[in-house]
Structure 1
C-alpha cells in the first residue's frame, strides 16, 4: 500500500522512546487530565502545560503540536476526540484526529508517530467502532505521507490491543494473526 510501517502494540503511550512524536488524547484546554492526557503530562513535566496554554482551546477533531519537554520524543501532537453520543458526526470527528495528527507529523518532517486509542476512555467511544474508524482513517492518509515512515497504535489493555489489531488486520494494515 505504501512505504509506511503500521503496527499495533500493547504498552504505555508515554513510554515510546523510539518515536519522533506521541499523540495525546487531549481535552479542549490541552491541560492534564485523566487517562492518556494525565500520563503524558505527568511524564512530560509542567513545561508541557505551559507551552499548551496559548494553543488552546482546540476544536473536536483538531490537532496541534508542541515540543515533548521531559518525554524522550521530539513532539507531542494533541488531538481532541469526540465524546461519543455528544459530538456528531463522531466517526468523522474521530477520523479527523488521526488524519490531522498524521499531517502535522508530515508537515514537521517527523518519521514516526505513536497514537493511543483516542476517545475510547472517558469519552465513551465503543472500542470496536473506534478501531475500525481509526484503521480506515490511517489507511486513507498513508498515500499522502512522505516523511512519516512508521505509525504505531499503542493500546494499554490487552483486550484493546486485540480489538485494534483485528481491525487493522481487516483493513490490510498489519499482518493477520
Structure 2
C-alpha cells in the first residue's frame, strides 16, 4: 500500500492510496456490488475469496439492493470489520452519474450511521460495469469531499480511495490535485 495523496477537510482525512482493498485495515471497505449481491467477479469476487463465504451468505440474506443504494455485512477474515456493498450503475442503463453519486453518498451515510471511523472505497462501477474511469474519479472524489464538508460532526475520520491499477489511479490523482 502506498499513500499517493492526502487532504484535510474539517479535520478529517481524504486519502488516495494505491493497493489491494482486501488488505486495508479500516473499519469498512466498500465492495462494488451488483443489485443481487452475487459476488463473483472483479472487486466483489476478490473480497469473498479473501474474506470467506460468510460475506456471500450474509449478502444472500439481504437479497436485492437497488442501484445507488448500499448494504452492510461483516468482513469475514478480512482485516476490515465490515464490508459495505455499494451498488453502482452499469453503463447504458441511464442516469448513471446520479446513480454513482447516490452509491457513494449512501455508503458514507451507512458507515456514519454505524459510527465507523474509517472507510476505503474502490473505483465503483469503473471495472466490469464500464463506467468511464475519469468520470468515476471526479464523482467519487467530489462527493466524498462534499460529504465531509457538509457533515463536520460525522463519525468518519478517514475516507480513502484504494485504487488497484495505475491507469485508474492517474484519474483519481488528477481529481486530488484539484482539491483545495
| TM > 0.5 fold call | yes
Distance in 1 of aligned mates of 2:37 and 2:135: 25
Match among 110, 115, 119 for residue 109 of structure 1: 115
**Number of equivalenced pairs:** 170
Match among 80, 85, 99 for residue 87 of structure 2: 80
Is 2:156 the counterpart of 1:148?
Answer: yes
- Is the CA contact (8 Å cut-off) linking 1:7 and 1:153 kept in structure 2? yes
Normalised by the length of structure 2, the TM-score is 0.91
1:4 aligned partner = 12
Distance in 2 of aligned mates of 1:98 and 1:38: 20
- Is the CA contact (8 Å cut-off) linking 1:131 and 1:168 kept in structure 2? no
CA deviation profile, 1:31-71 (whole Å, cap 9, x unmatched): 22111000001111011111111212111000011111111
Is 2:137 the counterpart of 1:131?
Answer: yes
1:33 aligned partner = 40
SS at match of 1:141: helix
Distance in 1 of aligned mates of 2:151 and 2:118: 15
Normalised by the length of structure 1, the TM-score is 0.92
Gaps of 5+ in 2: 1-8
Q: 1 or 2, which has the higher strand percentage?
A: 2
